[in-house]
Amino acid sequence: MQKRKVLIVDNSPVILKLISSLVEKENCDVVTAGDGLAALDVLKEYRPDIIITDMVMPKISGEKLCQIIRNTPEWKDIFLIVISGIALEDENSILRLDADVCIAKSSAVTMRQSIRTALEQYDRGERKSKAIHGMGNLYSREITRELLSIKHHYDIVFESMDEGVVELDNQGRIIMANRAALRFLMQRDESLLSDDFREHLSLQCRIKISDWLDNMDLDDLQPLVFDYDSPIMLFGRQITLSLTPVRENDSFFIVGIMQDVSARKEAEERQRRLEQQLHQVEKLDAMSVMAGGIAHDFNNLLAILHGYLELAKLEAGPDGRSGDSLDKAYNALEKTMQLVTKFNSLSDGYQPSKTALSIDQLLDEMLEYELKDSDIAFDVTSCSDLWEVDADDQQLGLVLGNVIQNARDAMDNSGMLRVALDNVEGEKERRRVKHPIPDGKFIRIAVSDSGPGIATEVLERIFDPYFSTKQKGSQKGMGLGMTIVYSIVRKHGGYVWIDSSRNSGSTVYLYLPAKLEKGERPEREFAGKSRLSWFVS
Amino acid sequence: MRPQVADAVFIEKEAMRILVIDDDDQIRELLRRTLDWAGYTVIEAVNGKVAMRLQRQEPADLVITDLIMPEQEGLETISSLKREFPEVKIIAVSGGGRIGPETYLPTAKELGADRIFTKPFSVREIVETVEELLRHAKAQGADCR
């Protein structure tokens, strides 16, 4: 008869020796392992017919070992004999193990008899007997029952924690992991246990942990922490990880605790983005208050200047000697007044006078006008039943003009300008683009250029007053263009944002409120303080 | 260089009283000098309260008033003037600023202002408007007699 191949696993050298000598006499080849982890290492090289394992062991326990064996296809048919020192007190869990034979630890004589019987069962092909051998002379110990009950409670707590907990040996191999840890690592017990923990992490983490393990000083054990500011990434989640070495005799093991901080990070990111947008609005609101105040004083001063110049001209008469000088002063003043009017359109007091209008015609006019001297081609696409907008046509012309001019300048007078017109619902759009679009119906005007794109640092400041990348001066650009666009669109109850990155062109998204049907109620506030109410909610 | 007008017309113009109400000294002076130059008699008031007192002492034929002033603001002044002196002609002037002229000027017109101007305005147009309104007033006055 061919020799049976047996793997014996027990952390007690005495019992290991006892069982080995017994089994060897029964025509078997024997390999031994000192704990569950060592057993898994043996199994990688050696496929036994029978495994005889202890239950309570350090590193990977007998219980886990059985679970791994039964759940690994190439091992699941191995004849499994478990030997338990707590068979009497923990009968039910032992029977749940799905072992082929269960033996209670007792006197050497009884155990010898039980093992012999078990080997006979193997030979007969008798599997999964639901009885425990060798219980005859045993007495139940109350203290063991109590300890087991406490352990059972700890196990439940351990498994229900939100934090992932892993235990690693001094080589960094996983010998225990709770349910949360398995979830974070997207693994099952049987595939994870005995793995090197580092294999499941990014290269950068691996290097850090290896360095840390290499420099471990048993007399000065230091933890390794990947904290909130430098979390590890696991399958798209951001997870903090602390690895704490714990001394045990002349060695150490490691307790790793993992916490999922993705939700908090996301909330923070959302908050940061909102604050940034709010800051933008505050800045522009401050600007419009200031513009209002300045415009008032300015208008007064201009009225005086203008009045006296005119009066001087009247007093000088049609052929007065200073007529020409006065005319020149007068012309410069006219330009100043136009600038003030522009500035004034930023102020809070300047409200648009809205009428229903269809955007496509105005858009075509502005495109024709702004691009007439350039080699830029344009293409307008529109959804079939585009809503009308409720807007001030002059101000809207100013908005479109500014956006088209910017696109034209970005493209250096050649290329393709695309404009897409669509109807959108504010709420849906807000969720899609993650920008605070107000509730309600909007017409979305997307103006895309084929220019070089906008650098992030420029994009952040693009709506700022007097921010310009163009050469400064009254002809080239004053840095008020996008500020005016922003201000006017906001005054209409709309929204504007820009999507761009270097080398990929830019798209300006303008949202203008659709004209409401009769009987339809506005879902947003147009003016006044409550204008921002949706913003903070 | 004063425009050449017949003495009779000049005397008639000088007899016309115009009340200028503005809290801004410079604007007031500008209007006074302009209307002086055009030949009218100009009375000044720094706010609506003072203006109403002056108007009750000796009524002006035409009032030019700013709309936003301390003490008594322009809109209130216009409505008091029209109530007490239904025949007086009123020109309302407003600057831009925190509350835009768009907000107030239409109300001013509703309350009885005959013409409205926004700052900065043209003094020539003011003079032309004053002349037109007063000519109209004289004609109306003649009809009444």
Residue A146 lies in a domain: no
Residue of A306, A322, A335, A395 for testing the chain B interface, max B β-carbons within 10 Å: A306
Give dist(CA A190, CA A64) in Å, integer: 8
Instruction: Say if residue A88 is in the same domain as residue A192.
Output: no
Mean pLDDT across A294-300: 71
Inter-residue contact B33 to A311 (CB < 8 Å): yes
Q: Domain spans of chain B?
A: 7-144
Mean pLDDT across B60-84: 82
Cβ–Cβ below 8 Å for A307 and B100:
no
Residue-level pLDDT at A194: 84
Out of A171-180, A241-250, A325-334, A346-355, which region has the weakest mean confidence (pLDDT)? A346-355
Q: In this predicted model, which residue has the larger pLDDT, A104 or A469?
A: A104
At A146, is the pLDDT very low, low, confident or very high (cuts 50, 70, 90)?
A: confident
Out of A209-213, B124-128, B129-133, B137-141, which region has the weakest mean confidence (pLDDT)? B137-141
Which of B26, B37, B120 has the CB atom closest to A314's CB atom?
Answer: B37
Residue-level pLDDT at A520: 58
Q: Measure A296 CA to nearest chain B CA, in Å.
A: 4
Instruction: Say if residue A416 is in the same domain as residue A486.
Output: yes
CATH number for the domain including A315?
Answer: 1.10.287
Residue A447 lies in a domain: yes
Mean of per-residue pLDDT scores for chain B: 80
CATH number for the domain including A193?
Answer: 3.30.450.20
At A250, is the pLDDT very low, low, confident or very high (cuts 50, 70, 90)?
A: confident
Residue-level pLDDT at A77: 87
- A150 touches B: beta carbon within 8 Å: no
Instruction: Say if residue A440 is in the same domain as residue A312.
Output: no
Give dist(CA A53, CA A63) in Å, integer: 9
**Domain that includes residue A422, residue range:** 355-536
pLDDT in tens, A496-508: 888 887 777 889 9
Residue A25 lies in a domain: yes
Instruction: Say if residue A313 is in the same domain as residue A419.
Output: no
Residues 6+ apart with CB under 8 A from A108: A18
Q: How many C-beta atoms surround the C-beta of residue B92 within 10 A?
A: 28
Q: How does DSSP classify residue A88?
A: T
Which of A296, A305, A307 has the CB atom closest to B98's CB atom?
Answer: A296
Instruction: Say if residue A278 is in the same domain as residue A307.
Output: yes
Q: Please count the CA atoms within 13 angstroms of the CA of B36 that sit on its side-chain side.
A: 10
Instruction: Say if residue A360 is in the same domain as residue A389.
Output: yes
Residue A345 has pLDDT above 70, yes or no: no
How large a percentage of chain A has pLDDT more than 90?
16
Mean of per-residue pLDDT scores for chain A: 81
Residue A356 has pLDDT above 90, yes or no: no
Instruction: Say if residue A367 is in the same domain as residue A506.
Output: yes
Residue-level pLDDT at B61: 94
**What topology is assigned to B7-144 in CATH?**
Rossmann fold (3.40.50)
pLDDT in tens, B38-57: 999 999 999 888 999 999 99
- A304 touches B: beta carbon within 8 Å: yes
Residue-level pLDDT at B120: 77
Inter-residue contact B21 to B55 (CB < 8 Å): no
Residue B116 has pLDDT above 80, yes or no: yes
Residue A467 has pLDDT above 80, yes or no: no
Residue A31 lies in a domain: yes
Residue A535 has pLDDT above 60, yes or no: no
The last residue of a domain, from among A216, A241, A260: A260
Inter-residue contact A494 to A396 (CB < 8 Å): no
Instruction: Say if residue A493 is in the same domain as residue A364.
Output: yes
Residue-level pLDDT at B1: 47
Q: In this predicted model, which residue has the larger pLDDT, A338 or A263?
A: A263
At A291, is the pLDDT very low, low, confident or very high (cuts 50, 70, 90)?
A: low
Residue-level pLDDT at A478: 52
Residue-level pLDDT at B113: 86
At B20, is the pLDDT very low, low, confident or very high (cuts 50, 70, 90)?
A: very high
Q: Can you tell me the ipTM of this complex?
A: 0.74
Instruction: Say if residue A74 is in the same domain as residue A169.
Output: no
CATH number for the domain including A451?
Answer: 3.30.565.10
Q: In this predicted model, which residue has the larger pLDDT, A477 or B21?
A: B21
Instruction: Say if residue A366 is in the same domain as residue A437.
Output: yes
Residue of A287, A298, A314, A339 for testing the chain B interface, max B β-carbons within 10 Å: A314
Instruction: Say if residue A426 is in the same domain as residue A520.
Output: yes
| Domains in chain A, number | 4
At A526, is the pLDDT very low, low, confident or very high (cuts 50, 70, 90)?
A: very low
Residue-level pLDDT at A524: 44
Inter-residue contact A417 to A449 (CB < 8 Å): yes
Instruction: Say if residue A406 is in the same domain as residue A318.
Output: no
Task: Using alpha carbons, select from B102, B90, B51, B58 the residue that is nearest to residue B73.
Answer: B51
Mean pLDDT across B69-91: 82
